[in-house]
Amino acid sequence: MDFDKLRDTCLSFPGATEGLKWEDHLCFMVAEKMFGITSVNPEEEGVSLKVTPEDFDELIARPHIFPQAYMAHNKWVRIEKYKALKEKEWQYYLRQSYDIIRSKLPKKIQRQLDEQ
């Protein structure tokens, strides 16, 4: 995984958008709800995303993966190095984060996303 692949993957999900928050954080969103956060600087590898409670415990036991400050109680992790996950794992966890956030949206918005 690298910055370009990360960005392309996140923006490939139905209705996914990106936006700048807090001056230097590139946020990937669905219906304005964040499902991924990284730096606008492609040289910085850190990525934050939401995971299931079961995956949270497994992931934070790995090197270079930590509970995300201020968001760990919501099961967000901070992946400090792209090499911390294999390519298929990146695809899985990015999609999982998107799906978790999307599932909390109103049904009407979810249907609209299905039509895109």
List the CATH number of the domain containing 33: 3.90.1150.30
Residue 94 in any domain: the answer is yes
Residue 98 in any domain: the answer is yes
Q: Supply the DSSP symbol for 85.
A: S
- pLDDT above 80: residue 45: yes
Residue 85's pLDDT is 94
Tally of structural domains, the chain:
1
What digits encode the pLDDT tens for the residues 86-114? 999 999 999 999 999 999 988 998 888 88
- pLDDT above 90: residue 48: yes
pTM across the whole model: 0.90
Residue 109 in any domain: the answer is no
Would you place residue 59 in the very low, low, confident or very high pLDDT band (cuts 50, 70, 90)? very high
Range of the structural domain that residue 54 is part of: 3-104
- pLDDT above 90: residue 23: no
Residue 89 in any domain: the answer is yes
Closest by Cα among 30, 69, 17 to 46? 69
